[in-house]
Amino acid sequence: MHGEELDGRQRWTEQRLADRFEEFGGRALAWIGGIAIMLGIAFLVGIGPDRGWIDESMRIVFGLLGSTALLLVGVWLYERKGQTQAALAAAGSALAGLDATLLVGTQIYEVIPAEVGLAGAGLAGIVGVAIAVRWESAIVAAIGILGALSAPLLAGAGASGLSLAFLAIALAAAVGVLLWQRWNWLSIGAFAVSAPQLVAWVMANRDEHLAIALGALAGFWLLYLIAAIGYELRARSSGELPIPSLFVLLADVALIAVTGYFALAQTGNPDAAGAWLLGLAAAHILLGALSLRKEIADEIGALLVALGLGLSAFGFADALDGPVLVVGWAIQAAVLAYMATRASREPGLVASNAELLLAAAGASLGLALGHALLFEAPPEALATGVADLGEAVVGLGACAAAALYGRFALGKNDPRVGSVCEAATAAVLLYLWSVTIVDVAGVTSSGGTRQMGQALLSAFWAATGLGAVVYGLLRDVQRFRIAGLALLALAIVKVYTYDLAALEQLSRVLSLIVLGLLLLVGAFAYQRIRVGDGDAAPGAGGEG
């Protein structure tokens, strides 16, 4: 009985494999045949008989008639004889043949006017899209959509208003199909075919028709945006955005921002170029906030806001300068940190939103701090002071304030992030006080070193380190003790290397005496408090 059951399963498996092989074989035959016909049409219109029996015009006529006939046969087979792969292959190869024939007739032979070729390619695209929607065939849709979007290029229409209008209409139709069928991967193809044509048109018309070029960019930005996130918004989805949609969304932002910026900058409008970035950023932030407020497509809302704030960072860099730019980036970091806390608390929002916003907040704070360390208070300010103390205080103070806000806003939900923000706040404030001491105190020597300022800086580092150690001992907080010991070690290294080599005798003596006294106090306090802890019950301790 058991053997018969095994034999039955084996026969069933073998039959299933045979059926799969036959099904694959039928599909392969259909599509190989369709490709062969398409290549035949291409050779007919592109090469033709060597003896010249058929001139160029007749080749185009035969190509158009043959492709149209094959398309009609495919439709008839599918509608009347069953939904077969042969019908799909015939329709797909016929649409490709029409596009190839129009390409050759307009750009190579030039026997078809550009307007006529454009209209013909558009008609073929409309027919292809209609067939694809009716048959729910992604392959036919790809040929029809990409063929229609390629029509201005294939027809050689150039940078005319007609080509842009046709491209916009074709893209709008493609977006409608994508939303209806949710063929997300086709959005990548639509973007890849239409985006280069849009950039070429804008760059060709920016000098004479700048306003129209910017309007075209804004319109195509909206179409690409709908293609990327329209279905998720329509379906009120709160899941993750598909990879193709995410790619199109990011590419859309980069394309429109960069193209509009250079179009304005290269036509003598640098201020308008920065305003373009900030306006695009505001549009993304507004759409993202609206999406989050309506509690639909949570990940999309967070992503749009993050993209908008990222664009605003570039816009600030272009429009602003100095500490004002640092303040703008620091405020942006605080706003992103607030949004990250909201995303982590709301049960309806996906966890990746908080991580994305948190990463964006860190990037914004990094930009602010990097600008402050490069321009307002560079590292050499620890030796020679800063060019403008007010700018240094504003820039570093804004960075410290943003990091401190992150400490209290984010530390409740994620103690590790809170610890990082706390360390960043302490480091920035320490650096700010350090450059202030060097800049304000002391007399500059011939080598540029501020003598008294360096002595006071060494004392400040040692005193601050000692204070951190004592606080950590009293509160039994290990991170304060470690940070204080590290700062004391830094003060020791500075005094025994830099101060002894670069300072004059009075400043050198002051550095050594102050450091020694503070180290003695620190050693006494450390041992005294640690002994007191040792007398306590085993296992007693604090944060550690």
pLDDT digits (tens, 9 = 90+) for 231-280: 777 666 555 678 888 889 999 999 999 999 999 999 888 889 989 999 99
State the Cα–Cα distance between residues 224 and 240, nearest whole angstrom.
Answer: 18
Say what the pLDDT of residue 507 is.
Answer: 80
Say what the pLDDT of residue 264 is.
Answer: 93
pLDDT digits (tens, 9 = 90+) for 223-239: 999 988 887 776 665 55
DSSP helix/strand/coil, 450 = strand
State the Cα–Cα distance between residues 420 and 407, nearest whole angstrom.
Answer: 8
State the Cα–Cα distance between residues 263 and 259, nearest whole angstrom.
Answer: 6
pLDDT digits (tens, 9 = 90+) for 512-541: 898 888 888 888 877 777 655 544 434 434
**In the predicted structure, residue 23 carries a pLDDT above the cut 50:** no
Nearest to 460 by CA among 446, 439, 475, 479: 439
State the Cα–Cα distance between residues 466 and 364, nearest whole angstrom.
Answer: 33
Say what the pLDDT of residue 296 is.
Answer: 57
Q: Choose the most confident range, by mean pLDDT, from 16-25, 33-42, 48-57, 267-276.
A: 267-276
CB count within 10 Å of CB 54 equals 14
State the Cα–Cα distance between residues 49 and 194, nearest whole angstrom.
Answer: 35
**In the predicted structure, residue 286 carries a pLDDT above the cut 60:** yes
Confidence band of 544 (pLDDT split at 50, 70, 90): very low
Query: Where are the domains positioned within the chain?
Result: 26-157, 192-319, 321-440, 443-534
The DSSP bridge partners found for residue 444 are: 450
Q: Which two tokens stand for residue 385?
A: 């002071």
Residues making up the chain, counted from first to last: 544
State the Cα–Cα distance between residues 394 and 429, nearest whole angstrom.
Answer: 12
Q: Mention every residue, 6+ apart, whose C-beta is less than 8 A from residue 478.
A: 472, 543, 544
Helix runs in 294-350, H state only: 298-319, 323-345
pTM here? Answer: 0.64
Say what the pLDDT of residue 95 is.
Answer: 79
Q: Which two tokens stand for residue 466?
A: 């000692």
pLDDT digits (tens, 9 = 90+) for 152-193: 776 566 777 877 887 887 788 788 877 777 777 788 888 998
More confident residue, 233 or 338: 338
Say what the pLDDT of residue 461 is.
Answer: 94
Report the chain's mean pLDDT, rounded to a whole number: 79
For the CA atoms of 318, 319, 322, 328, the dihedral, rounded to the nearest 10 degrees, stands at -100
**In the predicted structure, residue 140 carries a pLDDT above the cut 80:** no
**In the predicted structure, residue 401 carries a pLDDT above the cut 60:** yes
